[in-house]
Amino acid sequence: MPNPDLPDALRLTVGRLARRLRQHSLGELTPSQRSVLATLGRNGPVTMGALAELEGISRPSVTGIVGRLVDQGMIERQSVPDDGRCSLVALTEGGSATLEAGRDERTAFLALRIDRFGPQDRQVLAEAVTLLNRMVDEE
């Protein structure tokens, strides 16, 4: 019989780990700004409307976030060749570097902790990652 406490324990542990990783990434950026950078890193240049949809937030909210990131030199607005009414937002070199540095920092944070485990525990963790990926990929 499955452990009825496992789903709650997993949720709490994954949440705590996610919070710890957020604390070790991208300096002074807000969670919303980090999310926009990550979305642009995954999707490349997109329209403001598409970015709002990808982020699941309103267009006015994404406009404010984008404005602050433009001011910080993390992203830039680009014109759409066939539509003067529309613009794309894209990562700048600085935004890409910041995103990569944040990933490296989070990976190093995890690597230090994983290195403290013995070989058997690392194997269990590797198997858990496989199972977690299956959970995430299920419809």
Distance between CA 54 and CA 50 in Å, rounded?
6
**Digit-coded pLDDT (tens) for 9-50:** 999 999 999 888 877 765 688 889 989 999 999 999 999 999
- Whether 2 shows a pLDDT value over 80: the answer reads no
Q: Please, which residues bridge with residue 87 across strands?
A: 79
Tell me, rounded to whole angstroms, the distance of Cα 20 from its chain centroid: 13
**pLDDT band at residue 73 using 50, 70 and 90 as cut-offs:** very high
Angle at 90 between CA 86 and CA 92, to 5 degrees: 140
**Digit-coded pLDDT (tens) for 88-128:** 999 999 999 999 988 898 899 999 999 999 999 999 999 99
Q: What CATH fold (topology level) applies to the domain 19-137?
A: Arc Repressor Mutant, subunit A (1.10.10)
